Amino acid sequence: MSTLDHGILNLPLRKRGNIDAQIDRYKADQASEQKSARKDREAARRIAKIQAVALIDTLPAERLKSIADRCKVTPAALLKKLRSDAHFDPQFVIRALSAA
């Protein structure tokens, strides 16, 4: 909404305009911005998920085994956990596999 115009405060309510319409317009604008931001976040998440799965698929067996040994799990269990994390938290998988 616009800033408060002190000149309009001296006008009678019936001449100030429809405040309900202004509020409705403001709420619709806010909802539109939130929807746009949500769509952008979802698109980024989809891309991150694809990148995470690609990193897991290209992970060499030796590296998978070394990471599994450090984590004290089997390579199959680590692979299962990485695939699960790629679905729920793809940024974690990207950071973890890109770092070491």
DSSP the chain: -PPP-TTGGGS-GGGS--HHHHHHHHHHHHHHHHHHHHHHHHHHHHHHHHHHHHHHHT--HHHHHHHHHHHTS-HHHHHHHHHHHHHH-HHHHHHHHHH-
pLDDT over 80 at 87, yes or no:
yes
Q: What is the pLDDT of residues 1-47, one digit of tens each?
A: 556 667 767 777 777 777 788 889 999 999 999 999 999 999 999 99
Q: How confident is the model at residue 100 (pLDDT cuts 50, 70, 90)?
A: low
Q: Report the amino acid identity of residue 25.
A: R
In the chain, what are the domain boundaries? 18-99
